[in-house]
A and B are shown apart, each in its own frame.
Chain A
Amino acid sequence: MHDLLVTWLGVIVVAAPTVQVLILGGCALAGLALPERVIGRLVQTCMFTGLGASLGMLALMLTFGTRMEILSLGNWVDIPEYHFMLRFEFDRLSIPFALLTFALCGTVGAFANRYMHREPGYARFFCVYALFVFGMIIATLAGSIETLFAGWEMVGLSSALLVAFFHERPSPARNGLRVWSVYRVSDAALLLASIALHHVVGSGDFGHILENRSWPDGHAASAITPQLAFLVGLLLLLSAMGKSALVPFSGWLPRAMEGPTPSSAVFYGALSVHLGAFLLLRFSPLLDVSPGLAITTTVIGVATTVLASLAGRVQTDIKSALSFASMAQVGLIVAEIGLGLRYFALVHILGHACYRTLQFLRAPTLLHDYSLIENAMGQRVRNSQGSFDASRVRPGLSRWLYRFSLERGYLDALLTDYIVRPMLGLFRTCERWERQWTALLSGRRIESPRPDLPTGPEDFR
């Protein structure tokens, strides 16, 4: 009876977003234009079903006193060196995340249903949105690192696509691409980590890596030495840094505010931005093994918080201000994880997600809210407490700090000019070498890469 219930509820939790993405995606592929009403209904139904089933699962676990339920959908690949098992874990970490996902996505879905009314990209929005929910559920419930990676990728893809939702203007497309490239770095790190774990433990299942204990009592498999834990942990940390906009990747978060308000709310106020923290929580036993890793995590978290609260202080638009506020909290959460305060971090994530989503959804009402506050207070509202006075420390320091904050800690510029540009230069050089080499081999003349330009940069010197 218990097992049957677990299987059924588990399947429903996973199936609800799957069905949603299949229907919406399938219709888009087949060129069927569903009416807005139908899409709205479908999203509501799926979210409600998923939420109900997750609550059922929670109730079940509370009734039976189990701390971890596993839904296994069989071995999909099984060869001597490798197996891939589709496995979902319901435990004290994943259940709250799943509940949060369904509840927020359901509410924001209902919001978007009216907000996006008559928008040409209505169906596209909900298609990508469904992909996001699907990815989010897969990633949070994943029982193996491969499954988690699959969900992780879908979250990243949908996120970048929604940033670039208004692709008729250049700036969303540009910023979407920037988000996407940071995500790729983070994806690559996660992939490397998973390969490394496979190599060491021989399996990507959390059961093996974390010794079959329910969260947060798991501890790293005995094969993982502190040094290994540090290395693998660094890779995981790197991917979390990309996903959660930690220093030095923070620059993309305010830029991600190009999409429609509801997607900004649910992605960057609530779910997507916490996914990195979730990953760290999932692998928190590694932190126990390696104090160095724990310290690094804490330092990065704190650095993010400091930068974000500095930059947040000078923001003049509501969405950037909110995104830096989010970033500051995510930094704190990561620092908490580094310090081993796991339940603390979990509660922090849940509270922060709900609160920030509400704030994001209310962002366009800012002027209205301000006039209410002003009328109540009977005077003009000013958030400013004057400019920060650091001139006692060093003259000009306050100005310097202001500019530092206004330019968001120069992180974007540093990344672009000192990482991206040299990399691009390197690739271009390689490309040129390759062309020269093939030209040499085939005996052809080297053609100018852009034949429409009569002369190259040379004649400018």
Chain B
Amino acid sequence: METTRLALFSEFVGQLHPLLIHFPIGILLMAIALQFFQIFSKKDFSSSISILVLIGSIFAGISCLAGWLLASTGDYNDEIVFFHRWSGISTFILALTSYFWIHYRPFLFGVLLILIILTGHYGSILTYGEGYFLKPKIDSTVISSSKIRRLLKIEKVQGETKDYFYPYEDQIAPILKSKCYSCHSIQKKRGGLRLDSEFFIRKGGKHGRVLMVGNPLKSHLYANLILPEADDLHMPPTGKRQLTRIEIQLIEQWISSGAPFGEVEQKMVLSPNDLTSSAIDLPHLDLIPVENQMDIEPFGPTEYLVLDKLKDAKISVVYSGAKNQWVSLNFINVKSDFNSLLAQTKSIKTHVTELKLNNSDQMDFSALRDFSNLRILNLGHTNLKDDDVENFQGLGQLEQLNLYGTKITDVGLMKLAECQHLKVLYLWDTKVSESGINELKKKRPKLKIESGQFTFKLADTNLPKRLEVK
């Protein structure tokens, strides 16, 4: 208990080092500047300089102490820490010496200036990384082995159409570089963790592994990102640039897809709208299962072109199914040209589960023949006649057929008995007779027929007043 408290205290003091360090630098530089000014102006500032040097030395001492504690956390490159530490302590001793040794001050101050610059330089390397003052000009990324492999691969597969993807190289590493490297790379290993190469990511930090392949929630690399920002374990720490939700999601998908560091053949799936799996995860409602009567390939590029054309013609397209492989087409906005538009659907026919084609009197129903997965067909108020019903033979999955307001008669009705899956049939406002419906019902007893033969019983409009008082 006592030791952890002590550790926490020393960590706290250590963190003050970057803050404190600027006081002695400023004060001592001030003293040095006054000393040089005294030489040229022939005025006597020595008492002021003494005070400045004393204050500066005290702060330098405190800073050294804090720096020692900070270095003991072990997050820093040992070699540079060594130089920084001893040049810092030398600065402190030299400053204190010059307080007492007034006569040698001009010489001591020269050395002190050099020491301050040197210590500052090493400190900057520790904080900002090697080559920090040249950084904007030079991209310090090392060419990685997988980059070389990629170059080789490109030559190898030339002529083949195979595509390789590099999720780590292209998507994950850039995120880590911009959001994590500042604390977790060669210069600064907070928590003993480096994230700048495959080896270190797999190795983890002081507190254990950060990557559990295939399990993002157990990987601190992901899990710490989705903690609330106020949480101590949340990464990046408050105040640092945070990852965007898309970046978080990418890392999640990368880990769950097995955290591949090299090339993969399958492209990593990233859906721009699918933000549900990340920090704002909400439970999915799946009360009504998606109807999936048959497996069918999702749409390909050429098929999307067809759908685009249909949309241009103001046909409303609504997708369904787990892979959105099904569509329902609604021609509600279409005023003319039903037939040519219907002809355009040829290549996507098997994907169509629902068709709404109302209010057309020039329709060619033979175009409906091969919609083999069609489940709902609405032909209300069209020029359908008995002969056209034969075109429905190929509609093996048809469950619901709306023929209200058409010219179908009992003859056509009998042909509908062949549609094996038909469950609901709408026949209001047609030339079908009651006996025809009854005959169909005999053949298909389970078929629900809505003939619209409904009239209200007139209501008794004279309601008696019945309030009885006790």
A interacts with B: no
Name A residues whose Cβ lies closer than 8 Å to a Cβ of B: none
